[in-house]
Chain A
């Protein structure tokens, strides 16, 4: 016996089959950000100075470069997943929903890649 509603059968729509990976990805990135976020907060709080040379020295240290790259990736991913849920909850007009989801994805990738490029540029001393 099918438990699907008559409307669901007529429309022929099912699940997108990726709900679990969205949920799980949000949890995995949350655990990563718990560690990376606390490291970053601690680093910011204990920084002696925010002058340009001090900031360059901080980012250029290999371990800091590595952790910053991981932070940006985890944060960009977690933020994208979160904003996606918010948009899906509140934006109902089909066209606007598609456009806002598209803009959110582009913006997240844009700023994440900008940050990654900057970290690499500083870290590699280019």
Chain B
């Protein structure tokens, strides 16, 4: 039944990456990153409940360079997923789906995510 000579449509590798495509996969990537972050959030709460000694271990891991980088990554993932999520909800109303509109909202979402992440760490420090 298979016909290996049949014509194939152009696949992913042949396209230049438009910003909308990059943001689409980034939405999924940040979602998965936060699913992992959910475990750390649960660990934070569980370690607080377990007492000061256990909590100190949690803080020790988070205070490393890798821990800090992960926290910065999760904060960006959160603000990006949130901003792009609002874009998705707006799309669900049937608006903003034209190519030019989607490209414009893509840059807006990226800017919002970066600004919100920066404001978050500025307030936190």
Interface residues, chain A, CB within 8 Å of chain B?
27, 30-31, 33-34, 37-38, 41, 44-46, 50, 52, 55-56, 59, 68, 72, 75-76, 79, 82-83, 86, 107-108, 111-112, 114-115, 117-119, 121-122
C-alpha spacing A54/B120, complex, angstroms: 20
Nearest CB of chain A from residue B76's CB, rounded to whole Å: 12
Tell whether B49 is near chain A: CB-to-CB under 8 Å. yes
Residues B42 and A41 in contact, CB atoms below 8 Å apart? no
Residues B48 and A59 in contact, CB atoms below 8 Å apart? yes
Main secondary structure of the interface of A (DSSP, over half): helix
Tell whether B123 is near chain A: CB-to-CB under 8 Å. yes
* Extra 8 A-B pairs, beta carbons < 8 Å, given A75-B41, A79-B38: A31-B89, A44-B124, A45-B120, A52-B55, A59-B45, A86-B32, A111-B42, A122-B48
Residues A27 and B92 in contact, CB atoms below 8 Å apart? yes
Using a Cβ cutoff of 8 Å, how many contacts connect chains A and B?
85
C-alpha spacing A33/B51, complex, angstroms: 28
Give the residue name and chain of the A residue nearest to B40 (CB): A111
From B41, B45, B56, name the one whose CB has the most chain A CB atoms within 10 angstroms: B45
Which residues of the other chain, A, contact B45 by a CB distance below 8 angstroms?
59, 68, 72, 114-115, 118-119, 122
**Nearest 5 pairs of A and B residues by beta carbon:** A118-B49, A118-B45, A115-B42, A111-B42, A45-B123
Which residues of the other chain, B, contact A122 by a CB distance below 8 angstroms?
45, 48-49
Residues A79 and B48 in contact, CB atoms below 8 Å apart? no
Tell whether B39 is near chain A: CB-to-CB under 8 Å. yes
Residues B34 and A79 in contact, CB atoms below 8 Å apart? yes
